[in-house]
Amino acid sequence: MTATPVYFGAPERPLFGLYHAPEGPARGAGAVWCPPFGQERARCYRALRHLAERLAAAGLAVLRFDPHGTGDSSGDDGDPGRLAAWLAGVGAAVAELRARSGAARVVIGGLRLGATLAALAAARSGGADAIVLWSPWITGEGFLRDASRMERLRRALEGAGAGASGGERPDRESCGFLITPETALDLRGLDLLALEAAPAPRALVVGTGEVAEEGALVARLAALGAEARHEAIPGQAFLRDDPHRSELPREALDAITAWIDRSFPPLGRDEARSSPPPPSSDGAQPASAAPLLGERALSFGAPHRLFGILHDPDEGARRAGRAARPCVVITGAGAVDHTGPCRMSVRHARALARRGFAVLRFDLPGIGESPAREGCEERLAYPPSAPDDVRAAMDAAGAETFVLAGLCSGADIALRVAMHDRRVGGLVLMNPIFLAYRDLEEIRAFHDAGQYRRALLRPGSWGKLLRGEVDVRHAAQVMSSRAKRSALQGAASLLGRPAGALGAIRGVVERGVDVLLVFAEEEPGLAYLEEQPAAFAALRALPGLRMEVVPGDHTFTSIRCQEAVRALVVDHVARRHA
């Protein structure tokens, strides 16, 4: 089941969405889904895609979209009027769904902050027939408190000043995402318990049953005249797990699908016959393109199974063979979708496009919008077909030469492709995982264990522990003998493999490939190099290789670190390949 990418809303502020046409018995209904904010979006991406596919298979049209300044939509964290834009985006998504599907009845659903926005937008504008609030933030203040807590924990683990935004900035940072004072002020005014009108005649609240405010919200909705139901589903660890570890919340997906199925039964034969067909959405521009952004969605690879976003500031010249610059292909990072950790891939691509480069960022099979290949699991950082998939992306981009850029496993895959494909003229390898580890579990265990060991030696760490700012349970698990033994055995058993990777880097450099190697200062791969002084010196002496070290963690989470890496990568590519 493949979703159709669409751009919609105001032309000067286009929103990106994915439309799932109904495939089951006709219901004359559709659903709009609002995603979470920040790190929760990456963790919950897979769950919302599976939910949309279930609903489409049951006969509903579904549109899931990225609010302004998030995901693939236009805008960024620092834009003014974010809350107003988010609420307006819900209305635009409902209008787009109705225009594409002809749905007479609409359910609006959301997860976490997306659920809060869905409830507020529906209550203010009306028109929704039902609403699904999945683990909503009852108040904006609660969301802000949690955002601050997670940021304090991140800084406690990395060191008080590691990658911090700086005391001179009034903005609130939360694990790689920015919340401006204006946005924070607007969010503080949100309170679902103070709703004055029911968002819809029917409402479902899905939560863990461990939050007292969930019951109060159900009571408030009922008091406003809605037929409200509460589904308490304990656990839901996917809200906190990293994308490569996250399991599908099947019980919650079942509960939501069943409730919507009861709320929007299939149309009878006479109703289905009399229902108007979906209106045509023909226009001057294809719905899968945003001319203002210079971006369009692509499906490629036999039989069109991979999904990507192409940023192309001068497509005509490139297609005519007149483009002098290579196309940059971003190969991804672990199991995170094509937007990248902390939306890094979007920002890198748009910055490079402003410098005149075409950029393609895409999902490997089983990640984001690219379905897993037959016989393979989802969320594999190293799907077996990865090198072939990167080459398929290069073919789809249509350029003659390429720069491959990747973080973590994406850097590993990029190097593998560059070893054999002569079209690759440049590599940007960010925190490559191939220098020391076999899999993500080993790098996580070794990296986290090192973080906690260093934290124990820093002044102030014990104060943070006593104030409850450190996840003691997780720290104990990481520091357990099992985790340390696994990490050390993994590093010891791979002493030959990093040497092979260094040989591969040397080989592509000697062939004329320009290589930028970027490390976070806490990265274990950098520690490995520093413990091999001869190999380290030989690597740095290669004339076609540049290596830089920046403060930060494995995914360059802090905003200051993100900005430093983006400036470094964009300036390097522009200088070496323009």
More confident residue, 274 or 182: 182
Quick one: pLDDT at residue 474?
A: 47
Q: Is residue 507's pLDDT more than 50?
A: yes
- Of 348-352, 396-400, 486-490, least confident by mean pLDDT is 486-490
Quick one: pLDDT at residue 100?
A: 95
Q: What number of residues does the chain have?
A: 578
pLDDT grade, residue 491 (50/70/90)? very low
pLDDT in tens, 196-237: 999 999 999 999 888 889 999 999 999 999 999 999 998 788
Quick one: pLDDT at residue 455?
A: 46
User: Using CA of residue 479, residue 480, residue 486, residue 492, what is the dihedral sign?
Assistant: positive
Beta strands in 118-209 (DSSP E): 130-134, 172-174, 177-179, 202-207
Quick one: pLDDT at residue 466?
A: 42
Torsion, CA 518, CA 174, CA 364, CA 568, rounded to 10: -20
φ and ψ at residue 87, rounded to 5 degrees: -65, -40
Quick one: pLDDT at residue 562?
A: 96
Quick one: pLDDT at residue 578?
A: 81
Token readout for 422 is 């002569």
The answer to whether 61 touches 97, Cβ cutoff 8 Å, is yes
Quick one: pLDDT at residue 513?
A: 97
More confident residue, 333 or 456: 333
Q: Is residue 133's pLDDT more than 80?
A: yes
Quick one: pLDDT at residue 276?
A: 57
Helix (H) or strand (E) holding 426: strand 424-430
Neighbours of 492 (CB within 10 A): 8
Neighbours of 167 (CB within 10 A): 7
Quick one: pLDDT at residue 246?
A: 81
Q: Is residue 324's pLDDT more than 90?
A: no
Q: What's the one-letter identity of residue 172?
A: R
Question: How big is the CA angle at 526 (ends 524 and 527), to the nearest 5 degrees?
Answer: 60
Neighbours of 481 (CB within 10 A): 7
Mark residue 159 as left, alpha or beta (left: phi above 0; alpha: psi -120 to 50; beta: remaining).
Answer: left
The answer to whether 403 touches 326, Cβ cutoff 8 Å, is yes
Quick one: pLDDT at residue 293?
A: 83
The answer to whether 392 touches 373, Cβ cutoff 8 Å, is no
The answer to whether 230 touches 202, Cβ cutoff 8 Å, is no
Neighbours of 312 (CB within 10 A): 23
Question: How big is the CA angle at 226 (ends 224 and 230), to the nearest 5 degrees?
Answer: 110
d(CA 15, CA 321): 31
pTM (two decimals): 0.87
Nearest in space to 141 (alpha carbons), one of 171, 166, 116? 116
Quick one: pLDDT at residue 566?
A: 98
Mean pLDDT of 409-436: 91
The answer to whether 64 touches 52, Cβ cutoff 8 Å, is yes
- What is the overall mean pLDDT for the chain? 85
Quick one: pLDDT at residue 238?
A: 85
- Which residues have CB under 8 Å from 531's CB, separation 6+? none
The answer to whether 435 touches 528, Cβ cutoff 8 Å, is yes
- Of 173-182, 408-417, 492-501, 559-568, least confident by mean pLDDT is 492-501
More confident residue, 457 or 384: 384
More confident residue, 50 or 525: 50
d(CA 301, CA 534): 42
Which spans in 242-309 are helix H? 250-263, 269-274
Quick one: pLDDT at residue 267?
A: 81
Nearest in space to 175 (alpha carbons), one of 90, 294, 77? 77
More confident residue, 528 or 333: 333
Paired with 232 in beta bridges are: 207
3-state helix, strand, coil in the chain (%, to 5): 45, 20, 35
More confident residue, 328 or 211: 328
Quick one: pLDDT at residue 497?
A: 55
pLDDT grade, residue 321 (50/70/90)? low
More confident residue, 190 or 527: 190
The answer to whether 547 touches 539, Cβ cutoff 8 Å, is yes
The answer to whether 299 touches 2, Cβ cutoff 8 Å, is yes
Mean pLDDT of 553-576: 95
pLDDT grade, residue 240 (50/70/90)? confident
Mean pLDDT of 540-565: 93
d(CA 213, CA 231): 13
Paired with 4 in beta bridges are: 19
d(CA 214, CA 138): 8
Quick one: pLDDT at residue 323?
A: 60
- DSSP one-letter code for 191: B
Cα dist from 396 to 299, 389, 420, 553, whole Å: 9, 10, 18, 33
Quick one: pLDDT at residue 272?
A: 56
